[in-house]
Structure 1
C-alpha cells in the first residue's frame, strides 16, 4: 500500500460554487485543502466546529503577535492617560493667572477632551480557525479514497495501454509443434 502524498494538515478556503459536504451531503462553499493542493474536499462549518471531525491548529506566531499588539495597545492607553493628567495639571497652573471666565471655559474644554481619550475596551471576537488537522479516522478515509483513485487510474492506463494488461492470444494451432 502506498502512502498518500499529502499530510494531515488542511487549510480552510471558500469556493465560488457550492458542492455537497464530504460527510452529510449538504451544500456548502467551505473547502478544506492541503497546502500542496493534492487533496481537497467540501465540509460544512458545523463539521469544522466538531472536534470529532477536525481540530483547529493554533498558529503560535500569530498568537504571539496578537499578544504583543495587545500589550502595545495597553501601553499606548496608559501613556495617553498619563499625558492627559500632565496636561490637566499644566492647565490648572496656567489657570490660576487667568480670569474666572477663562477658567470655566478651560475646565469645560478639559472635560470634553477627557471623554474621547478614555479607553473604550471592546473585545474583538476571535477569528475562525483557518488551519485544521483531521481526526485520524477521517484522515484514514481521505487516504483510502486517494489510494482507490490511484488504483483506478492505474487500471485505466493498463487497459488503454493494450499489451501489458492481458496475455496475447496464441498464434499457433493447439497440435502444432511450432514452425
Structure 2
C-alpha cells in the first residue's frame, strides 16, 4: 500500500452525518481529509487548535496576496476620504465667503464643529472589524500521522487475508488415492 501525504484539509459535514471524534469520541461534524481522499477521520474543532495534535499549513502566497489586496483597498479608501475632505474644504471656503458677507461669524464656528463631529462618527462606524479565518489545511503530528498509516496498513492486510481465506485453492486438497 502506498503511503499518503501528511496534508489534511478541514471540511464540515451536515449535523445529521456526525460521527465520533477519533480522539475523544464526542460527536463531531469536522472532518480531516487527505487531498486524494485516501484517508479521512472525524475530529473535534478544539483538537485542531492543539499544537500537539496538528499544525496549520499556511500558504504564504495566498497570505501575501490577501495582504496586498487589503492594502490596495485601504489606499483607495484613504484616497476617497482625502478627495471628500478636499471637496468639503472648498465648499466650506465658499460658504465662509458668503457668510463673511453676511458677517455672522459666531454661527459659522458652531456649525463647522458640529459637521466635523458627525463626519468623525460616520468614519468610525463604517470600518468593519477584520475577520480572522481559520486555517483549512493541517499537518498531523508525527505520532498521530504514524497511527493513521498503521491503521490503513492493518486494514489493507486484513482485507487481503479475508480474500485469501475465501479462495478455495489456498488450502491443500484431500488425498484421493489409497495409501
- TM-score normalized with structure 2 length: 0.81
1:138 and 1:114 map into 2 onto residues whose CA distance is 53
Gap regions ≥5 residues in structure 2: none
2:75 and 2:125 map into 1 onto residues whose CA distance is 12
Q: CA deviation at 1:134?
A: 0.5
Q: CA deviation at 1:52?
A: 0.9
Find the counterpart in structure 1 of residue 64 from structure 2.
Answer: 64
1:137 and 1:114 map into 2 onto residues whose CA distance is 55
The answer to whether the 8 A contact 1:80-1:117 is kept is no
Find the counterpart in structure 2 of residue 170 from structure 1.
Answer: 175
Answering whether residue 19 of structure 2 is matched by residue 23 of structure 1, we say: no
Gap regions ≥5 residues in structure 1: 175-179
What is the RMSD computed on CA atoms of the aligned residues?
Answer: 2.6
Q: CA deviation at 1:147?
A: 0.5
What does the per-residue CA deviation read over 1:148-179, in whole Å, with 9 as the maximum and x for residues that have no partner?
1111111111122221x2222222222xxxxx
Task: Evaluate the alpha carbon distance shift between residue 12 and residue 110 of structure 1 in structure 2; reply closer, same or farther with a 3 A threshold.
Answer: same
Q: CA deviation at 1:117?
A: 4.1
What does the per-residue CA deviation read over 1:83-140, in whole Å, with 9 as the maximum and x for residues that have no partner?
1231123113322442458x95984895445643457555424211111000111010
Which protein is richer in helix relative to its size?
A: 2
Task: Evaluate the alpha carbon distance shift between residue 131 and residue 54 of structure 1 in structure 2; reply closer, same or farther with a 3 A threshold.
Answer: same
2:119 and 2:132 map into 1 onto residues whose CA distance is 32
Matched residues, number: 170
Which sits farther off after the overlay, 67-76 or 111-120?
111-120
Answering whether residue 157 of structure 2 is matched by residue 159 of structure 1, we say: no
Find the counterpart in structure 2 of residue 137 from structure 1.
Answer: 143
Moved over 3 A (4+): 103-115, 117-123
- Secondary structure, aligned partner of 1:171: coil
Superposed counterparts of 1:113-132, under 5 Å: 113=119, 115-117=121-123, 121-132=127-138
Q: CA deviation at 1:39?
A: 0.5
1:90 and 1:106 map into 2 onto residues whose CA distance is 16
2:157 and 2:148 map into 1 onto residues whose CA distance is 14
What does the per-residue CA deviation read over 1:60-101, in whole Å, with 9 as the maximum and x for residues that have no partner?
222112211221132123212321231123113322442458
Find the counterpart in structure 2 of residue 12 from structure 1.
Answer: 10
